[in-house]
Amino acid sequence: MSNPIVPFTLDGASVLHQMFHVRWEEWRALDQHSRQVLVDEASAWLSSRESAEGGEQSAAFAMLGHKGDLMLLHYRRDFVGLLEAQAQVRKLRISEYLECSNSYLSVVELGLYESTRKIHDELGERGLTPGSEEWDQAVTETLDRQKKAMSGRLRPEIPSARYLCFYPMDRKRGELKNWFSEDFADRQKMMHEHGMIGRKYGGIVKQIISGSIGFDDWEWGVDLFAESPLPFKQLIYEMRFDKVSAEFALFGPFYIALRIAPGGLMAFMKDDARSAVE
C-alpha cells in the first residue's frame, strides 16, 4: 500500500473555540448592580450548557498571557449547533464587553491508519476493486460499525480537568518534506510510534484531536486536558523527538487556560483569579 492511499477517519462532534479580550475599562465603569445582572445572566446560560449531555456542552476557561482573557469551548452535534451557540453568546448582554481575539472551528476526528490498511487488505481479498460501488458500500458499512463502537470518543464530554492546552497544527507539504507524498506504510509506522508516546500519558493527559482541513487555517486542532500544566510540556517535548513531529509537523499558537469553576464567572470578572478557578 503506497500513495495515494488516504487514511479513513471517523468524524464526530463539532467544535468551536472562542477567545475573547475583556474590555476591562468599560466593564469597571459599570455600577455593581449592572455587573451582577450581566454576570448572573451569563452564568445561568453557562451552567445550563456545562450540564448538557450528548455532545452539547460549553465551558469557560480563564486564559493566561496576552492572547486573550476568556475562552469559551463549545461541543455541538453539528455546525448548526455551533452557529446557535455563537448566537447565544452574542445575545448575552455581557458580550458587549467582550472582544473576540480569535476562534477555531473543527470536528472531533479519529484517524484510522491501522484500520485503513486492514480494510484495504480485507476488501482486496474479497476481490473488490477500489472505487467500485461494492467497494464503497463495504467501506461505508465497516466505518459505520466502527463509528458506533467509538461513539463515546467521537462525542465526548468536555473534560472537567483544571487545565487546558489548545493548539492548531499542520503536516508539512513543502518541497523538501511533504507528509502527504510519503508512502502509506511509512506514514502508518510514524503515526503508530507517535501514538505510543501519547499512550504513556493516558492517565494524566486527556487528548482530543479535531480535524479542521477545509474548515480553518490549520489542518488539526489539539486539546489537552490535565490537572497540572507540566504534563503538557513533558508530553509535547517528548513528542518533538519522534519522526512525525521532528520532520513533518508545523505548530500554530499555543493557548493555556484554567477551567472557570461553576459559579466562578463573577470572581473572574472581578479579577479574583484564584476564586474563579478553585
Summarize pLDDT for 19-55 with one digit per residue, the tens: 999 999 999 999 999 999 999 999 999 999 998 987 7
Is 237 a known active-site residue? Answer: no
Domain boundaries, the chain: 13-107
**Cα angle value 29/34/38 (rounded, 5°):** 110
Q: Which of 75, 104, 167, 201 is catalytic?
A: 167
pTM given for the model: 0.93
pLDDT of residue 53: 82
pLDDT of residue 20: 98
Return the DSSP state at 132: S
> Which among 161, 195, 169, 194 is positioned nearest to 254, based on CA atoms?
169
3-class secondary-structure state, position 69: coil
**What is d(CA 13, CA 109) in angstroms, rounded to the nearest whole number?**
8
Contact (CB, 8 A) for 209 and 111: yes
Helices (H) and strands (E) in the chain, counts: 11, 9
Architecture of domain 13-107 in this structure: 2-Layer Sandwich (3.30)
> Which among 77, 91, 80, 83 is positioned nearest to 44, based on CA atoms?
91
Contact (CB, 8 A) for 169 and 220: yes
- pLDDT (tens place) for every residue of the chain, 278 residues total: 444 588 999 999 999 999 999 999 999 999 999 999 999 999 999 999 998 987 799 999 999 999 999 999 999 999 999 999 999 999 999 999 999 999 999 999 999 988 898 888 898 899 998 889 998 999 999 999 999 999 999 999 999 999 999 999 999 998 889 999 888 889 999 999 998 998 999 999 999 999 999 999 999 999 999 999 999 999 999 999 999 999 999 999 999 999 999 899 999 999 999 999 99
**What is d(CA 107, CA 102) in angstroms, rounded to the nearest whole number?**
17
pLDDT of residue 54: 76
**What is d(CA 149, CA 138) in angstroms, rounded to the nearest whole number?**
17
**Which residues lie across from 211 on neighbouring strands?**
107, 220
pLDDT of residue 39: 97
C-alpha cell at 267: 470572581
